[in-house]
Amino acid sequence: MKLLIDTHAALWLFNEHENLPTAVREQLLDEANDLYISIASAWEIAIKHSLGKLSEFRGGVTRFLSAVREYPIELITVLPRFVETVEQLPYVHRDPFDRIIIATAMCEDMSIVTSDNNIHNYDIKCIWR
């Protein structure tokens, strides 16, 4: 299965955070699954870290990208067709990072690993509930 990891889920995975359910962690560590993270998540980390909003994740985007490389996770760039898909999404959720993650998953036939209820409101496959 192709899993696109939402930003908060990646942070919880990298920090071995207790909020990441065991079943979700097992899916992320299952070698049968292909793992992906959008470069938009790295951009989100860079912005939030510069604003002082990531006190639990020290090292900012440099540490985030280093952690991505430590796992068998492929970093996905934002393609023009993903941006075109964002334009067609209903305005259930205003967060631009989540909207590009949703569009990426739709275009690439991926399931999103997220606990974000707003993302669950889109017609997209999600892992976590």
pLDDT in tens, 25-49: 999 999 999 999 999 999 999 999 9
The pLDDT assigned to 129 comes to 66
DSSP 3-state percent helix, strand, coil across the chain (nearest 5) = 50, 15, 35
What's the pLDDT band for 126 if we cut at 50, 70, 90? very high
Task: Please name which of 58, 77, 56 lies closest in space to residue 66, comparing C-alpha atoms.
Answer: 58
2 close to 108: Cβ distance less than 8 angstroms: yes
Rounded Cα gap, residues 116 and 123, in angstroms = 14
Output the CA–CA distances (angstroms, integers) from residue 46 to 7, 22, 52, 108, 109, in the order listed.
Answer: 11, 28, 10, 25, 27
Mean pLDDT of 73-88: 97
Residue 56 has pLDDT above 80, yes or no: no
Provide mean pLDDT across the span 60-84.
95
Judge whether residue 67 has pLDDT over 70. Answer: yes
Per-residue pLDDT band for 15 (boundaries 50, 70, 90) equals: confident
Q: What is the pLDDT of residue 74?
A: 97
CATH number for the region 2-127 comes to 3.40.50.1010
Greater pLDDT, 112 or 55:
112
| Whether pLDDT at 1 is above 80 | yes
Q: Distance of alpha carbon 37 from its chain centroid, rounded?
A: 5
